[in-house]
Structure 1
Amino acid sequence: MDPVFKALADPTRRLLLDRLREQNGQTLGELCERLNMARQSATQHLDVLQRANLVTVVRRGRERLHYLNPVPIHEIEDRWISGFDRPRLDALGAIKRQAEENAMTVPDYVYVTYIRAGATEVWKALTDADLTARWWGHANVSDWEPGSTWEHRRADDSGVVDVTGRVLAAEPPTRLVITFEDDPGATREPSAVTFLIERYEEIVRLTVTHEKLANAEQLGGISKGWPAVLANLKSLLETGETLPQAPWEMHR
């Protein structure tokens, strides 16, 4: 927690996090423009936020996009807030969310995890139907060629497809981009998910970015779902076994 508290102690760094909360996925130039700050100063503050894992950087071509990572703040909430006066805080939070929901601009969701595995192993776990059935409870079925469709089929032999989409980009074993259509009747543009796999010696950093979310309700759902399924993926690759209970069932 020390690097997180150190990062949050500075008002300029808190302002940077506020700007990313308002509009996630900004370049350094965009952040400097919004804050009227020199690039060197912004870079120094962003480096501190990255070391605290409060901000993660995703490369898109020649651009470096900065995303707010909510995990450390969530851990602070669990450790320092939840045990004190949770019912009253929940009530106040519900009032605030209700007041802001209609005006809310839904941000992109970014989740980062580190896995002791090779990039090829992580890629296979994301795209092999049998492996996804083990850690996600659904088989991801596709030939994974750009333009192809993919299906998220239940692993209970019912054949039910809960999510469909198209493969927008496939660059094994480092980058996979898919549309994510969980509401067949929706007329809006589907959301999109990017899996970025970065190898570092004996581990990889897996960054999952979920963009173009429909509303705050969808953001809330995936904010619970992605950490659960990715924890199962991490367990499978590192130990050969998934977690003893399906982690997403805790949210029910």
Structure 2
Amino acid sequence: MATVDAVFKALADPTRRLLLDRLREQNGQTLNELCARLEMARQSVTQHLDVLRAANLVAVVRRGRERVHYLNPGPIHEIEQRWIASFDRPRLLALSAIKSQAEEQALSTIPNYVYVTYIRASAEQVWQALTDADLTARYWGHANISDWQPGSTWEHRRVDGTDKVDVVGKVLETAPPTRLVVTFEDSLEARDPSVVTFLVEPHEDIVRLTVTHENLPNHEMLAGISRGWPAVLANLKSLLETGDVLPQAPWEMSDAHA
């Protein structure tokens, strides 16, 4: 599990910051794609990526024989939460919104979103937390309902008494307890659905949970899930490690400081 010291050490090197900038501009690149934009030996780029991965700033997802690198915002988000005071957030968010709007006007593609977290639990426990309706209701405020077989549908149903379904989709792949792939449809608009992949990798007493959200339709959805996934997964981590969710719903914190 990456420490704050490892994160700051990784960020101290200008080449590693450049690699993160390259992934911010175009997330999901192979080693060859990253090397093509840097005047550096392939071995040196690999070494820098290993440091970034050890600090949990870069996540690697296998696509066939290739390894695709994604920027993982988790550690930077945790640093922001620790050192930016609540009274600073409205001003900083306003400045960020202006900058983001200018950048979005220059972008023609929507990057995939990848988030990595480490949980002290077994792969079977994480799988159950992802697929059990009662458990998802506890840490998400929605019950994820399905038989989780390939081709089956799934529903993301509120548990506030309304039974409203906010997200629907189809199960594309299921390989308990390590891999689940579903479509994610949160709109009535006619468009190709986005796709969410949950990858559970066990190692001794912990697992690495990687959530990849692909085929996003617009930057508005990217911004929404960039706030939503860290909050939901923090609640999931708390539930599995302590037996209870966080004292307050973490997704409400963003709204309170907006």
1:161 aligns with 2:148: no
- Aligned residue for 2:181? 177
Query: What is the aligned counterpart of 2:201 among 167, 183, 198?
Result: 198
Q: One-letter code of the match for 1:108?
A: N
Q: Who is 1:9 aligned against?
A: 12
Shift of 1:89: 4.1
1:38 is displaced (CA, Å) by 2.6
Q: 1:60 corresponds to which residue?
A: 63
Matched, 1:101 2:130: no
Letter in 2 for 1:134: R
SS at match of 2:29: coil
Q: State the partner residue of 1:187.
A: 190
Structure 1 residue ranges without an equivalent (≥5): none
Aligned equivalent of 1:70, options 73, 88, 91: 73
1:234 aligns with 2:237: yes
Match of 1:248, SS state, is helix
Pairwise CA distance, 1:95:
2.4
2:132 to 125, 128, 133: 128
C-alpha distance in 2, partners of 1:33/1:44?
16
Q: Identity rate of aligned residues, in percent?
A: 76
Spell out, residue by residue over 1:153-211, the C-alpha distance to the aligned partner (whole angstroms, 9 max, x if none).
Answer: 11134221110011111111101011110002x22211111100000101111111111
Q: 1:216 aligns with which of 219, 233, 240?
A: 219
2:74 and 2:117 in contact (8 A); partners too: no
Aligned to 1:31: 34
Residues in 2 aligned to 1:78 and 1:251: alpha-carbon distance in whole angstroms = 11
Matched, 1:43 2:35: no
Q: Describe the shift of the 1:87–1:66 C-alpha distance in structure 2 as closer, same or farther (beyond 3 A).
A: same
Task: Give how far 1:88 is off.
Answer: 5.1
Equivalent position SS for 1:187: coil
- 1:119 pairs with one of 117, 120, 123: 123
- Give the length in aligned residue pairs: 251
Superposed CA deviations along residues 51-70 of structure 1, whole A, max 9, x for unmatched, are 22211112233322111011
| Offset, 1:5 | 2.7
Residue correspondence of structure 1 range 237-248 to structure 2 within 5 A: 237-248=240-251
Deviations 1:91-149 (A, max 9, x none): 43332222222223322111111111110111111111111111111111111111211
CA–CA distance in structure 2, aligned partners of residues 199 and 189 of structure 1: 32
Q: Is the 8 A contact 2:74 2:230 kept in 1?
A: no
Bigger shift: residues 102-111 or 194-203? 102-111
Q: Give yes or no for the alignment of 1:151 onto 2:134.
A: no
Unaligned runs of 5+ in 2: none
Distance 1:108 1:49, change over 3 A: same
Q: 1:116 to 1:24 in 2, by over 3 A?
A: same
By how many angstroms is 1:3 displaced?
2.4
Change (3 A) 1:227 1:86: closer
Q: Give the drift of 1:85.
A: 6.1
CA RMSD for the aligned pairs? 2.0
